[in-house]
Amino acid sequence: MPPLGVVDYGMGNLRSVLNAFEEIGHEAELVTEAEAVAGYDRIVIPGVGAFSQAMANLSRSALDEALDRHVAAGKPLLGICLGMQLICRESDEDGTHQGFGWIDAQVRHFPPAEGLKVPHMGWNAIEIARENPLLREVNSGADVYFVHSYYVDCASAEDAVCTTEHGVRFASVIAKENVFGMQFHPEKSQNIGMQLLRNFATLH
């Protein structure tokens, strides 16, 4: 299988994502130049950090335009954690900021509630709302590992293929055509996370 590209835009623990793909036997390479994106059939946008800074970094390197072309060509793309939020239309983090808009969704801060810990950190269950090839051999109720203070609110329920409860019920896996997102960290989610990455790497 050809290697997939993991976008390096200066944010997030890239090594753990690369190691996870290596663990499942699928080669992955860092992508730092916009021109290199076209050479990959599959792209992963990982990330931890601030939404606006991430979009600024992607724009500065012209990676944003290259990723737009990748998606427009119908090639699979996966966003992880902050990467999932970037594929949405807009974020409320530190003002209002535009994302890629491949999926019509708003990124919102968890509302304050008594006893609710923010950031949402640790293991929590994903409930499957609708079937998707990304979820092959993954059962509803499986626990995965989260670290985030903002959640994704999809305009269309069709785009939220898994949901999770943390004060509010939010989209924890999103998918629309060739674009996919996971709010949790599959690379830290043991066997379930490895299965999800394997599914993405072998999507037809």
Ordered by where they begin, the domains of the chain are: 4-201 (3.40.50.880)
Q: Give the tens place of pLDDT for each residue, 53-106.
A: 999 999 999 999 999 999 999 999 999 999 999 999 999 999 999 999 999 999
- So which residues are the catalytic ones? 81, 185, 187
For 201, other C-beta atoms within 10 Å of its C-beta total 21
The mean of the pLDDT values for the chain is: 96
Of 8-17, 90-99, 181-190, the one with minimum mean pLDDT is 8-17
pTM, to two decimals: 0.97
Q: Give the tens place of pLDDT for each residue, 150-168.
A: 999 999 999 999 999 999 9
- Residue 161 identity (one-letter amino acid): V
Q: Which residue shows structure tokens 């996370």?
A: 193
Q: In this predicted structure, what is the pLDDT of residue 119?
A: 95
Q: Give the tens place of pLDDT for each residue, 120-157.
A: 999 999 999 999 999 999 999 999 999 999 999 999 99
Residue 1 has pLDDT above 80, yes or no: no
Half-sphere exposure of 121 (CA within 13 A, CB side): 4
